[in-house]
Chains A and B, each alone.
Chain A
Amino acid sequence: MTETATRLVPFDEALTRYEPVIGLETHVELGTRSKMFCGCPTTFGAEPNTQVCPVCLGLPGSLPVTNAAAIEFTIRIGLALNCTIASWCRFARKNYFYPDMPKNFQISQYDEPLCTDGWLDVDVQSDDGPARVVRVEIERVHLEEDTGKSLHKGGSTGRIHGADYSLVDYNRAGIPLVEIVTKPVPGTGALAPQAGRAYVTELRDLLRALGVSDVRMEEGSLRADVNTSLAPAGSGRWGTRTETKNVNSLRSVERAIRYEIERQAATLDAGHRVMQETRHFHEDSGITTAGRSKEEAQDYRYFPEPDLVPIAPSPDWVAELRASLPELPSARRARLQSEWALSDLDMAALAHADALDLVAGTVAAGATPADARKWWLGELRQRANAVGVELSALSITPAQVARVSELVASGVLNDQLARQVLDAVLGGEGSPDDIVRDRQLAIVSDDSALLAAVDDAIDAHPDVAGKVRGGKTQAAGVLVGAVMKATRGRADATRVRELILDRLGAA
């Protein structure tokens, strides 16, 4: 089914007439060893249907038993998000039929979530201008079980539309899922797309710091649904919101919000109403398309899960968990900024490049903060951009970068050689030390070896040598270049220059 070309209003123009309100629903796969209600493993990538049992397959007669670690992780998430932890709550059944749900109901939470009413402060960076702090309020954090995964066969795209049949793998069914729902976030204006992205980024970092999930969007352990609505500027009311799914990266969060603003603005400009619906984000084109409108009519017939008993976390236990929370990302950033004596702008640059952990790791491995930043934001970022990946995806570790930095600081390498070493590490040739040794990249530090090259250069350029002897020390540059070439760069240029001038009596 083809769509007629969707009208869009350019973003900046849309923002002159409309105010966006955004909301985000994220699902986090918890990194527990076993599943939510049974002892099956949760490891990613196993052979299909090898990590299942009567419980997560929902076989007749099976019963769920709650994973204590999942409760603990969820409470810690709630505490880190400044939520109130329920003193008593229950699981509920969400009833609907779908082949990836073995029981045709999902054990979730409905009107009694484990955590409510929190907040997360997020630094939102625009491309020009200072960072703004946006307080994103959290409506609820609750626990549920994940579904199985389907492969759709027979259609041309592997998507569900046009498929002839599907193949279901239940390995993922029953993995604990935490759902974090924000309250609507008004007032971000033109920063709405970045605000959405910044929130998901900050949330991801917080979850990683808590150690509750590996939060990899590309593996599906962190999933985001984005809600967007527009209302006429100054109207004081909120518009109808759409929910956009299949947002699989941080960048997509930003793009999806942006697109929805442009699309909804065109709809409203034309005098039409925005339909409340679920939309699907397309990575390749950056657009959203309408999903199945059937989903809107769902009555999930929630009722308290009779196979599970209520959860009543004791105040002592909650206090214990609160006391054991690790340093949260925002606090860590403030501390590092202070330790490294960085300006807000410099700090923001690190965040923007998603380089904070990498730099911190490099500093921890012995580099100075300045050097660490220089390498990551300079040479390495160039290389990452050249192949279109994130910094963290480069095949070099903070420890290796620190080693290269140390080799330069101790005079074994100069900057140019260091760049060669970095490329070799990225190319998989081994550790920095291996490479220096194997390729003989170390600077020649022995003057006597250099002097031979110096003499050769002087002999080869008598007129230049003459000028230098005559007092034109700048001309020595040519001779330095010749020596560097002769030694294939394995010389300290400053030292070479000293030797030349000394040799020519012009020191």
Chain B
Amino acid sequence: MSITRDEVAHLARLARIALTDAELDHFAGQLDVIISAVARVQEVTAEGIPATSHAVPLTNVFRPDELTECLTAEAALAAAPAVEDQRFRVPRILAEE
């Protein structure tokens, strides 16, 4: 068993996804199989092999410190689920104590 149902529940919490119990059961089984399969990478001895984060090696890509056009507040807020005082209105940030 490479991953338990509790671990999957923990991952779902970390990823902010409110899985149902049925989904937890279902995904736990599937993730277990998938993780076993991808764990195959550990068969490779990679002593001294550098990790590649970028396949095509570029460095030092910058932009000059200049101003470019912004969105209007209207455009920025156009798709917002809730707006107040020209700001994004979001539900209370702390959980109930």
Contact = CB atoms under 8 A, between A and B. Distances in A.
Direct contact of A and B (CB under 8 A): yes
Interface of A: 1, 32-34, 38-41, 47-54, 57, 65-71, 88, 90, 97-99, 150-152, 154, 160-161, 163-170, 292, 299, 303-304, 306, 308-313
14 contacts: A33-B66, A34-B68, A52-B71, A66-B63, A70-B65, A88-B59, A99-B90, A163-B93, A165-B91, A167-B84, A167-B85, A308-B61, A310-B60, A312-B59
A40 B77 CA distance: 16
A66 B63 CA distance: 6
B62 A53 contact: no
Contact of A310 (B16, B54, B70, B72): B54
Nearest to A292: B94
A97 B76 contact: no
B86 interface: yes
Interface in B62-97: 62-73, 76-77, 84-94, 97
B87 A53 contact: no
A163 B94 contact: yes
Contact of A33 (B67, B86, B88): B67
B86 A47 contact: yes
Interface of A, helix, strand, loop or mixed by DSSP: loop
Contacts of A40: 67-68, 70
Contacts of B59: 88, 309-312
Nearest to B94: A160
A187 B59 CA distance: 42
Interface of B, helix, strand, loop or mixed by DSSP: loop
B90 A47 contact: no
B77 A49 contact: yes
B7 to A, nearest CB: 13
B65 A32 contact: yes
B56 to A, nearest CB: 9
Interface of B: 14, 16, 53-54, 58-73, 76-77, 84-94, 97
Contacts of A166: 89-93
A34 B67 contact: yes
Nearest to A73: B65
Contacts of A309: 54, 58-61
B93 A160 contact: yes
A65 B92 contact: no
Contacts of A53: 68-71
A88 B59 CA distance: 9
Contacts of B70: 40-41, 50-53
A168 B90 contact: yes
A150 B62 contact: no
A391 B51 CA distance: 55
Contact of B63 (A68, A152, A169, A306): A68
B10 to A, nearest CB: 10
A306 B94 contact: no
Contacts of A34: 65-68
Contacts of B85: 48, 167
A164 B92 contact: yes
B14 A299 contact: yes
Contact of B68 (A38, A90, A152): A38
Contact of B86 (A48, A164, A299, A311): A48
B65 A67 contact: yes
A304 B62 contact: no
Closest 5 CB pairs of A and B: A39-B68, A69-B65, A167-B87, A68-B62, A304-B53
Given A40-B67, A65-B62, A309-B58, 9 more contacts: A33-B66, A48-B87, A52-B70, A52-B73, A165-B92, A168-B90, A299-B14, A309-B54, A311-B59
